[in-house]
Structures are given as C-alpha cells and as structure tokens.
Copies of this chain bind each other. A is one copy, B any other.
C-alpha cells in the first residue's frame, strides 16, 4: 500500500470514477466501466488501486434521519477551560466514544471544538448536554445551535 502521506496522482479517469462512486457506491463494475468508457477489468484495477491508496476511505449506507427517529441535529461550539494538550486529547477521545456525536472538529478562533450531534428529540439533547458534555472536566462553555432544516447534505467532495 502506498504511504498515506503521499498524494497519489489522479488522472481524469480516476476522478470520474471517484465522482461516480461518491454518488453510488454500489454501481456494478460493468456499469461503471461503461460510464467511463473502459472495459470492466482495468476499471476494477483502478478502483482497487484507489482503495489501497486510501483515496477511497470506505463505502457506507446513508440513512434518512427522520425514518430512523434521529431527527434532531445540533451544532455545538465548545470552549475548554485549561488548554493543555492532555485536556484536548481527553475531550476528543470522549467525543469519539459517543455515538450521538457524528463529527468533532478542532477549530481556530474563539471556539475550541465544533460538534455535530444527532439525537431523537430535545429531551435526548438536554440529556446529552447535562450528562455528557457538562460532566467532562475542563468544558468551560457550550453554545448550541439547533438545526431546523437540512437544506443540503452531501458527502461528495468536488474533484476539480
């Protein structure tokens, strides 16, 4: 496997493959080959290479949050009290362990961490704030922004 710090060269065909797989991870290789104008064998070789290089990180199913009763999304800005390396790592570890925390970002500016949290309803969110966030030593302040409507959601990175 190529070391992950080396940026692989992606030609136009690779980028077309990636764009299609970002839209539909389950497209049969035969159909993918058709769309990019190659035969199945080299197409599959390219896909396998992109997987091994880590360009394709994983294949996932996206669910409808409403239909699985996880409809409340909240963005939380968190500032920590003592800004030590250990304090930051502890916080990030705790967020990784919480399934309702979908995303956790270390940020520049006033905010230390940004969280995207997904729960069933406001009761569940209040519970998260009180029992999880507030229970972490070193959390100085949190600011929750309730999401009313998802106008756009995509995981597709634009490729030049």
Q: Chain A: residues with CB nearer than 8 A to chain B?
A: 4, 7-8, 10, 18, 21-26, 53-70, 73, 75, 92, 95-96, 99-109, 111, 113-114, 118, 145-159
Contacts and interface: CB of A to CB of B under 8 A. Distances in A.
Contact of A92 (B55, B152, B158, B159): B152
Given A18-B68, A102-B152, 4 more contacts: A26-B59, A58-B61, A60-B62, A107-B147
Q: Is the interface of A mostly helix, strand, loop or mixed?
A: mixed
A57 to B, nearest CB: 5
Q: Which 4 A-B pairs have the closest CB atoms?
A: A99-B158, A21-B61, A104-B152, A92-B151
Contacts of A10: 68
A7 B104 contact: no
A84 to B, nearest CB: 16
A97 to B, nearest CB: 9
A95 B153 CA distance: 10
A68 B21 CA distance: 14
A70 B148 contact: no
Contacts of A64: 4, 54-57
